[in-house]
């Protein structure tokens, strides 16, 4: 069919040409598809403030913008949990590379480290979450998948040993590689962190971690205001939003201030050794130089910064 310049048809068609009709149908379909695609936005908008939606990636925030974000988060905690908290943004120290070692001959499996982690890091009380999972292992076996985390009897049992597992702060972290939005990365003091406000909750990192070290916030964390640890940090123990990943950060809000991590302080036997790998006089260096340390799943090439050893 051909139309002349005045819009009159040669072939005796109606007042609306087929082309125009097709265009109208196309536009309608396109608009409908767009509306459908945008529909979740209308449901989702009320739970996320505009500021939060427009917030930049952690690494792109200027100090002033970071201050504004922190003030907003502190206000949100006050509004939602009724607690006055102070959220810091402690940066990595120069000349520090953190590492952890754990003496499996001394660990008795009391799980006090897991409990301390739960309290320190403002975990959801209902699910009793913790970054540490203590595995009861058969002596003579090193198969992590056969470890039992649910033991409930006096410890230590004679034929068992106990292996607490948490984030290994790998030098080659597979969880960082798989993140599609770069919401998780390795800091220069070797700690792998998550920007909870950048994470989209796809859980790829959870699947990629060979140590089951990452956790997902299925619900908004429930904590009574009395139990909230008010000393918080943006990249570590501030209360996480629903639908994002979280992980052990070696308590960076403590350790970057020179303090020991909460799990170490809770350990009654001294099985845990923490320190700066770059300091030749540190306890961690002494352990690495004098004990037969090993790492978990070495064959994967993740190069953990978390070492285990037996005394005897």
Task: Annotate 79-140 with DSSP letters as a single string.
Answer: HHH----EEE-PPPPTT--EEEEEETTT-----HHHHHHHHHTT--TTTT--S-EEEEEETT
Considering only residues 85 to 104 of the shown chain, the ones binding another protein according to CB under 8 A are 101, 103
User: Which residues touch 308 (CB under 8 Å, ≥6 apart)?
Assistant: 101, 102, 104, 163, 293, 294, 295, 296
Stretch that binds another protein, among 15-23, 188-196, 215-223, 235-243 (CB under 8 A): 215-223
Degrees, nearest 5: CA angle 8-12-16: 60
- Taking CB under 8 A as the rule, which mask of x and - marks residues 141-180 in contact with another protein? --------xxxxxxxx------------------------
- Which of 33, 126, 181, 200 binds another protein (CB under 8 A)? It is 126
Q: Distance between CA atoms of 194 and 236, rounded to whole angstroms? A: 8
Contact flag: residue 82 with another protein (CB under 8 A): no
Closer to another protein at the Cβ: 58 or 164?
Answer: 164
CB neighbours of residue 195 within 10 Å: 20
| Residues in a beta bridge with 80 | none
Considering only residues 41 to 70 of the shown chain, the ones binding another protein according to CB under 8 A are none
Contact flag: residue 109 with another protein (CB under 8 A): yes
- Which of 85, 264, 293, 306 binds another protein (CB under 8 A)? It is 264
Closer to another protein at the Cβ: 36 or 158?
Answer: 158
| Structure-token pair, residue 217 | 């916030």
| Residues in a beta bridge with 133 | 165
Considering only residues 280 to 299 of the shown chain, the ones binding another protein according to CB under 8 A are 282-283, 286-287, 290-291
Residue 144, classified by CB atoms within 10 Å of its CB into exposed (0-12), middle (13-18) or buried (19+), is: middle
Q: How far is the CB of 205 from another protein (least distance, A)?
A: 15
Closer to another protein at the Cβ: 51 or 311?
Answer: 311
Strand 215-216 and strand 245-246: the pairing is antiparallel
**What is the contact surface with another protein in residues (CB under 8 A)?**
101, 103, 106, 108-112, 114-115, 118, 126-130, 133-134, 149-156, 215-216, 218-219, 255, 257-260, 264-265, 267-270, 273-276, 282-283, 286-287, 290-291, 311
């Amino acid at each position: 069919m051909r139309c002349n310049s005045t819009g009159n048809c040669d072939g005796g068609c109606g007042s609306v040409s087929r082309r125009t009709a097709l265009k109208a149908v196309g536009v309608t379909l396109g608009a409908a598809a767009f509306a459908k695609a945008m529909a979740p936005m209308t449901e989702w908008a009320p739970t996320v403030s505009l500021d939060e939606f427009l917030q930049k990636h952690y690494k792109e925030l200027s100090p002033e913008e970071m201050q504004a974000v922190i003030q907003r988060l502190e206000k949100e905690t006050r509004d939602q949990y009724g607690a006055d908290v102070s959220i810091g943004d402690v940066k990595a120290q120069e000349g520090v590379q953190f590492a952890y070692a754990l003496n499996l001959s001394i660990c008795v499996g009391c799980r006090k480290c897991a409990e301390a982690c739960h309290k320190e890091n403002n975990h959801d009380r209902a699910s009793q979450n913790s970054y540490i999972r203590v595995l009861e292992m058969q002596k003579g076996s090193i198969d992590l998948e056969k470890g039992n985390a649910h033991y409930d009897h006096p410890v230590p049992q004679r034929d068992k040993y106990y292996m607490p597992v948490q984030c290994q702060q790998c030098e080659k972290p597979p969880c960082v590689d798989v993140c599609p939005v770069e919401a998780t990365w390795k800091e220069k003091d070797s700690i792998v962190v998550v920007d909870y406000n950048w994470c989209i909750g796809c859980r790829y990192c959870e699947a990629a971690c060979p140590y089951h070290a990452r956790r997902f916030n299925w619900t908004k964390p429930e904590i009574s205001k009395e139990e909230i640890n008010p000393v918080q940090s943006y990249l570590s123990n501030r209360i996480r939003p629903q639908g994002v990943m979280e992980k052990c950060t070696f308590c960076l809000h403590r350790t970057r201030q020179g303090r020991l991590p909460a799990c170490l302080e809770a350990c009654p036997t001294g099985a845990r050794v923490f320190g700066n790998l770059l300091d030749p006089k540190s306890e961690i260096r002494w352990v690495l130089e004098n004990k037969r340390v090993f790492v978990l799943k070495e064959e994967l090439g993740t190069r953990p910064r978390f070492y285990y050893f037996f005394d005897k």
